[in-house]
């Protein structure tokens, strides 16, 4: 397992390419912040939010009943000790959850 770089892209990529091929899955993204410099090389110039959206939309197809194979949920933790881009992270979670039939929750102190 690679060290944590505070970016959910690698885990999401693994989940959708390995586990969602023929199974319905739910992905939970939990966090408080997003370090922009930590995005994987395969994202190219796109930011992490766009990269996650592209990865999930490529694999998230509807089954015979019209239900999605992948649901993405997000939970953000609001506090005062951020080092990156918390608003960008919160917005990324909201957009990805909304586009992938998931829920988005923010927990405050």
Res 2 pLDDT > 70? no
DSSP annotation of 104: E
Q: What is the mean pLDDT of residues 73-90?
A: 78
Other Cβ atoms closer than 10 A to 109: 6
Enter the pTM of the model: 0.77
Above pLDDT 90, what percent of the chain?
16
User: If you average pLDDT over every residue of the chain, what do you get?
Assistant: 79
CA distance 7 to 5: 5
Residue 72: which of 4, 6, 9, 2 has the closest Cα? Answer: 9
More confident residue, 19 or 98: 98
């Amino acid at each position: 397992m690679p060290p944590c770089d505070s970016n959910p892209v690698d885990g999401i990529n693994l989940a959708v390419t390995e586990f969602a091929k023929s199974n319905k899955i739910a992905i939970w993204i939990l966090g408080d912040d997003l370090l922009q410099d930590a995005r994987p090389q395969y994202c190219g110039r796109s930011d992490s939010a766009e990269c996650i959206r592209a990865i999930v939309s490529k694999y998230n197809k509807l089954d015979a009943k019209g239900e999605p194979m992948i649901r993405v949920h997000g939970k953000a933790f609001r506090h005062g000790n951020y080092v990156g881009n918390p608003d960008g992270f919160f917005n990324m979670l909201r957009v990805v959850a909304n586009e992938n039939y998931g829920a988005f929750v923010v927990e405050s102190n």
